[in-house]
Amino acid sequence: MLKKFRKKKRLLAGLTLGAFLLSSAGVYAAQDGAFGSNLVGEQADGSVQTPVNQLITPAGKQIEFGGNPISVAIHPNGKTAVTIVGRNNYGGKGINVVDLATGKMAVTDFSIGLTTMWGLAYSKDGSQLYATGSKSGTGKVVVMSIDENGNPSIKKTYNLPKPAVGGNINPLDLAVGPQGQLLVALNRDNSLGVLDPQTGTLTAKIPVENAPTSVLVDGNTAYVTNQGGRIAKNSDTTVDSSGTQVVVDPKTGATTTGTVSVIDLATNTVEKNIEVGVQPERMTQSGQYIFVTNTNSDTVSVIDTKSKKVVQTIDIKPYPDAAKGAAPNAVKVIDNKLMVSLGRDNAVAVYDWQGPDKTPELQGLLPTAWFPVDLAVDQENKNLVVANADGIGSRGPARDLTIQGIKVSGHSSYAQIGSLSLIPFPTKEALIKGTKQVYANNNWFGLKDLNAKPRHNKKPVAMPERVGEPSTIKHVFYIIKENRTYDQVLGDLGKGNGEPALTQFPRAVTPNFHKLAETFPLLDNVYVSGIQSASGHQWVMQGTNTDYEDKETDTANIRSYPGGAGDPMAYAPTGHLWDQAIKHGVSVENFGEDTISFVGSEPFGTWTDWYNDALKLSGQKEGDLHVPIGNYQATYDIPSLGPITHKTFPTFDMNIPDQYRFEIFKQQFEKHVKNDDLPALNTLWITNDHTSGNATGSPTPQAMVADNDLAVGKIVDLISHSKYWKDSVIFITEDDAQNGLDHVDGHREPAYVISPWVKRGITDSHYWTVINMVRSIEQILGLPAMNQNDAAAEPMSEIFTNKPDFTPYNFEANQIPLDTLNGSPNSNTAALANTDKVTPEAKELSKKWTEWSNKNKKKLTGRHASPDDVNANMLNHSVWYATEGFDKPYPGEKKVHTPDEVAEQPESFAPSPADND
């Protein structure tokens, strides 16, 4: 026994340390939460709080710069490392070069003339650097010359052809072949491109399987990871992903396969396709073995290059019995140790690998910055180089604003600061220290307490201590709204941490949101976890975001834009909140969330038509509906949504007022009241605070936000005056907060928890995120956590009480007319309402912004409406002028701007998401 004990002790930061840490920190978990009342951003001790329930304390030396680094490569001479950011409007422009000996930036923010970027590779002699990316909807390869100091200069830029499905071919990783040819993963063409770097000629397109992502060359053989998996068979369930039918789980809709194509470069043909884990990405080679990271399986596949077979599958578990969610996405080998970057855990896992016949042991963890995505090895200085896509978060330059002589600063979720970490090859001591730090950063201490088995004979309480113990709450309503920061709505509340100078939708516009914040707990430190809808909806409904979608967000969503579903590759293998409910026998009904269109046979009509229908449904107006209820129905691509979705409830469409959404919900809710069959979980997407800018015929931004405010107020009123109020709770969040500024952080949102079972009138400044909301819903309904993120999240227990107050909520009537429409291009009366001096210049500026809004209206309304197709920077300016006046500069700017001037700003250069028509 003693010998066995000593052997375990020698594992140090491995599984034994993990088990000890998990089981020994119950007191830690029971204190004031892992993150207390931290505000997102840098803390007093130098750590950084993220909006995804994690702290950042990266090991080694940190090099920070604007933008989201996607790839890193080391020059063949070992002196410099180069990284490339994903897009040119998140704070960076392109290339950064680091001197590896000093750890200092040698070249900062070198533009390579692209709007989105991904892959990097040096020529064998280091004289050339190649990069992939896109501009104006066209995939490109950039060839750069490298001088003796590692400095790049653009030599040539080559255009790539359109894929068979149309749109952008979306080039991702690339590698240099044995003859100097470039091998490019053509992601939307499902092929490997062979390009002559001297002429730009695409000499071959080798068909592989679905969504090729990364390339590795071994002699005359190339290995290509196909993140979308194998080609579908007739018996498979499939869903479209950017023009390709990919194999999915028949329930959750998430992809279920992954392959590696083996290509003979002498003949440019595929030898075979090897099945690996789900959504494989980057690879590395050591001797005869190739290691493949499988982001959605949390595994590494080991391929023997001699047999061309998988000879080992390594489970990547950062702690014992870990759920899925680590998202291993890159790997390197150093001295028989696997270094695996865990994108979702902000860590590098170190495994002792002694060949495919022996299960590798986890030696420990090293903390990185936020969302590591690529690794390189600096042998000269004995450092592991880590590219951290999200770095330290949205901490870029704040936009300053002076109101009545008072200067304030506002942060946007787009102002990203990425980083490189130079981490010394780890010693045993560094692994012990690093493992403990990673545990603390992710709130893994006390995980066993957070997820302990339920106890029997427990008395029902509002928020059970353990999942599975009874709650006095039986019905949960989960309302998802759109895109406003805390300061935009509640900055003028008069209490809590608000900044009135950044408030665009004050009490007169949002009387219900103000009243709800004053009546129920005021939550002034809650954060959305996504930057925009494509990532935000995944966080809101899954409690996590896949590595695939996180990188899509960081590179402008060239492949797809699942802003409320639309791409199965964005769905986590652990499922959505409703999947977990269905799995555990909890009833659920969905109203709009993650539906993708609203279609019918009748003419769609105008906003006014749908608004009049809402008035008729509410009894305020007589006559027939312009479209009968049931003619238009919501569509979906997630199989499990079909049976639970109330299909007459609209999806995202700014041409349908939220008053109509309320009336459809009301009809269904009243049926449930009558039949006594209200589901336990009810999800609703209430969208119109997104607004349509200054588009003619659409309501003003103030009117649309007021419409949203009134709809939510009526929903709360309806529920609170029903028999279900006594055992209900309403959680209200947003999918993202991108369409505004906030003095704390661009992710901070106006969130609400409403119930007889919450403390009234308090201000709660505890740090919370949407992941805590997901966990709270699970805790109440008895649903086990889905993944590592919600498993480590604490329920929002402190705002609940076991002394209920059943006083119902009475909604506040709107103070501005909901049908206040933007004026015609000639009058602009409504748009100029907040302008102090209506000069000819102001009228002309208003006219131009109206013309811009009209041009983009089709992206916000009708059958092809989609969140965020309109560039956020442009829409933010439009809404700012409409709400603040055409004589008030946007924060951070010295004068008011025309649309053409704003379009020239770096923030406006990114193409519309997934513009692949």
What pLDDT is recorded for position 4? Answer: 32
Do the strands 681-685 and 588-591 form a parallel or antiparallel pair, or are they unpaired? parallel
Work out the percent of the chain whose per-residue pLDDT is above 90: 78
Model confidence at 359: pLDDT above 50: yes
Residue 231: phi and psi, rounded to 5, are -70, 135
Q: Could you read off the pLDDT of 832-865 as tens digits, one per residue?
A: 667 777 888 888 888 888 888 888 877 766 666 6
What pLDDT is recorded for position 863? Answer: 61
| In-domain check, residue 735 | yes
Query: Are 729 and 757 within 8 A, CB to CB?
Result: yes
- Position 245 confidence tier, pLDDT thresholds 50, 70, 90: very high
| In-domain check, residue 500 | yes
Task: Report which of 878, 846, 865 is spatially closest to residue 912, judged by C-alpha positions.
Answer: 865
Q: Which helix (H) or strand (E) holds 879?
A: helix 872-884
Please tell me the distance from the alpha carbon of residue 276 to that of residue 783, in angstroms, as a whole number: 31
Show the tokens assigned to 195. 């390009």
Model confidence at 824: pLDDT above 50: no
Query: Are 217 and 181 within 8 A, CB to CB?
Result: no
Please tell me the distance from the alpha carbon of residue 426 to that of residue 350, in angstroms, as a whole number: 9
Model confidence at 66: pLDDT above 70: yes
Model confidence at 820: pLDDT above 60: yes
Least confident of 187-201, 286-300, 682-696, 817-831: 817-831
Show the tokens assigned to 830. 């409504």
Please tell me the distance from the alpha carbon of residue 48 to that of residue 368, in angstroms, as a whole number: 12
Terminal CA-to-CA distance of the chain, rounded, Å? 67
User: Exposed (0-12), middle (13-18) or buried (19+): which is 59, by Cβ within 10 Å?
Assistant: buried
Show the tokens assigned to 372. 């590591």
Do the strands 633-635 and 417-424 form a parallel or antiparallel pair, or are they unpaired? unpaired
Residue 840: phi and psi, rounded to 5, are -55, -35
Question: Within its chain, how far is the Cα of 113 from the centroid?
Answer: 26
Q: Span 586-610, mean pLDDT?
A: 95
What pLDDT is recorded for position 339? Answer: 98
Mean pLDDT for all residues in the chain: 91
| In-domain check, residue 482 | yes
What pLDDT is recorded for position 308? Answer: 97
Q: What is the CA radius of gyration of the chain?
A: 27
Show the tokens assigned to 63. 């090099």
Query: Are 673 and 667 within 8 A, CB to CB?
Result: no
Q: Which helix (H) or strand (E) holds 299?
A: strand 299-304
3-state SS assignment for residue 108 = strand
Q: Span 630-645, mean pLDDT?
A: 96
215/33: higher pLDDT: 215
* Neighbour count for residue 712 (Cβ, 10 Å): 26
| In-domain check, residue 357 | no
Show the tokens assigned to 54. 């994690």
Model confidence at 24: pLDDT above 50: no
User: Exposed (0-12), middle (13-18) or buried (19+): which is 525, by Cβ within 10 Å?
Assistant: buried
What pLDDT is recorded for position 415? Answer: 76
What pLDDT is recorded for position 473? Answer: 98
- Position 695 confidence tier, pLDDT thresholds 50, 70, 90: confident
What pLDDT is recorded for position 404? Answer: 47
User: Exposed (0-12), middle (13-18) or buried (19+): which is 404, by Cβ within 10 Å?
Assistant: exposed
860/737: higher pLDDT: 737
The whole domain housing 490 covers 462-532+556-751
Please tell me the distance from the alpha carbon of residue 884 to that of residue 871, in angstroms, as a whole number: 20
Question: Within its chain, how far is the Cα of 330 from the centroid?
Answer: 20
Task: Report which of 259, 755, 794 is spatially closest to residue 516, judged by C-alpha positions.
Answer: 755
| In-domain check, residue 227 | no
Least confident of 236-240, 336-340, 609-613, 839-843: 839-843
731: which strand partners? 478, 753
Count of domains for the chain = 1
| In-domain check, residue 634 | yes
Work out the percent of the chain whose per-residue pLDDT is above 70: 91
Please tell me the distance from the alpha carbon of residue 688 to that of residue 707, in angstroms, as a whole number: 7
Please tell me the distance from the alpha carbon of residue 282 to that of residue 274, in angstroms, as a whole number: 15
| In-domain check, residue 908 | no
Residues 6+ apart with CB under 8 A from 414: 89, 90, 91, 394, 396, 531, 738, 746, 872, 873, 907
Task: Report which of 449, 477, 476, 454 is spatially closest to residue 464, judged by C-alpha positions.
Answer: 454
pTM of the model: 0.92
Please tell me the distance from the alpha carbon of residue 207 to that of residue 436, in angstroms, as a whole number: 46
372/851: higher pLDDT: 372
Model confidence at 15: pLDDT above 70: no
- Position 22 confidence tier, pLDDT thresholds 50, 70, 90: low
Between 658-675 and 607-617, two packed helices, what is the crossing angle to 10 degrees? 30
DSSP classification of residue 122: E
| In-domain check, residue 538 | no
287/149: higher pLDDT: 287
What pLDDT is recorded for position 16? Answer: 53
Question: Within its chain, how far is the Cα of 152 from the centroid?
Answer: 32
State the amino acid at position 598 in one-letter form.
F
Q: The tokens 């956020």 sit on which residue? A: 872
Model confidence at 651: pLDDT above 90: yes
Q: Could you read off the pLDDT of 401-438 as tens digits, one per residue?
A: 554 455 656 677 777 889 999 999 999 999 999 999 99
Q: Span 211-223, mean pLDDT?
A: 98
Model confidence at 10: pLDDT above 60: no
Show the tokens assigned to 196. 């002559």
Query: What CATH number does residue 599 fall under?
Result: 3.40.720
What pLDDT is recorded for position 587? Answer: 98
What pLDDT is recorded for position 257? Answer: 98
Please tell me the distance from the alpha carbon of residue 196 to that of residue 206, in angstroms, as a whole number: 15
